[in-house]
Amino acid sequence: MARDLSPIGKQSRREGYALAPKAAKIMAKKSGIPGEHADMRIRGGSLYLTQLREKQKVRRIYGLLEKQFAKLMREAQRAEGMTGEKLLEFLERRADNAVYRAGFATTRRAARQLVSHGHFTLNGRRIDIPSIRLKPGDVLEVRPKAKKNSYFANLANIAGSTEQTQLSWLKSDVKKMKIEITGTPKREEAEVGINEQLIVEYYSR
């Protein structure tokens, strides 16, 4: 399964946005575009560059590769409703994002790894595909075998340290190690600091 394994700190500095909690600490110490000739690059510039950087930022926030993101965008364009809002809804409804949003992981990368390693079941069936799109009524649970894992034995402490806000579309139970999907994500519940209209304009060129 293809993944972007480049350092999250470098990605965050390139986008000017902390993509993970530890990235904020890195950026506090060392800001600006990474690279030997970073000072020669222009951070402002054309509208196209602004659109591109917004697309790259959102793609990296949710951990998708370019082909995956473009495919999701095409689906959002075909769906009813505002294209940008549908894109964010689809991103939020990914299984790995739900695990992260429920506080079962401190980062989306960690959540993706938990799902891809088969630690969860979806409606009673084991899954290992982080991109599975959840729908209202779905239930994600930690597999009985995985509950014996030292990671999940410490889940209460992990969930307590994530500082996730309560969301209208999912309900998590740390003790039972269960996540219930109760609705669909609202626009305001997506990651903060996103201008989805710039992404729509980028793909509309």
Per-residue pLDDT of the chain (205 residues; tens, 9 = 90+): 455 666 666 666 667 766 666 555 565 656 666 655 454 455 557 999 999 999 999 999 999 999 999 999 999 999 999 999 999 999 999 999 999 999 999 999 999 999 999 999 999 999 999 999 999 999 999 999 999 999 999 999 999 887 777 899 999 999 999 999 999 999 999 988 999 999 999 999 8
Q: Are 110 and 22 in contact (CB under 8 A)?
A: no
Q: Are 95 and 140 in contact (CB under 8 A)?
A: yes
Asked if the structure places residue 87 within a domain, the reply is yes
Asked if the structure places residue 117 within a domain, the reply is yes
Domain identity same for 105 and 61: no
Can you give the pLDDT at residue 40? 45
The stretches of 4-154 forming alpha helices (DSSP H) are 8-15, 21-29, 47-62, 66-78, 83-92, 95-101, 108-116, 150-153
Asked if the structure places residue 3 within a domain, the reply is no
Can you give the pLDDT at residue 100? 95
Q: Domain range for residue 72?
A: 8-91+192-203
Can you give the pLDDT at residue 73? 98
Q: What is the layout of strands, in order, in the sheet containing 170-173?
A: 125-127, 120-122, 139-142, 178-181, 170-173
Domain identity same for 65 and 145: no
* Distance between CA atoms of residues 46 and 43, nearest Å: 10
Domains identified in the chain, total number? 2
Helix axes 66-78, 47-62, angle to 10 degrees: 100
Can you give the pLDDT at residue 115? 98
Can you give the pLDDT at residue 37? 43
- Which amino acid belongs to residue 62? Y
Give the burial string for 57-85 (b: 16+ CB within 10 Å, else e). Answer: bbbbbbbbeeeebeebbeebeeeeeebbb
Can you give the pLDDT at residue 119? 98
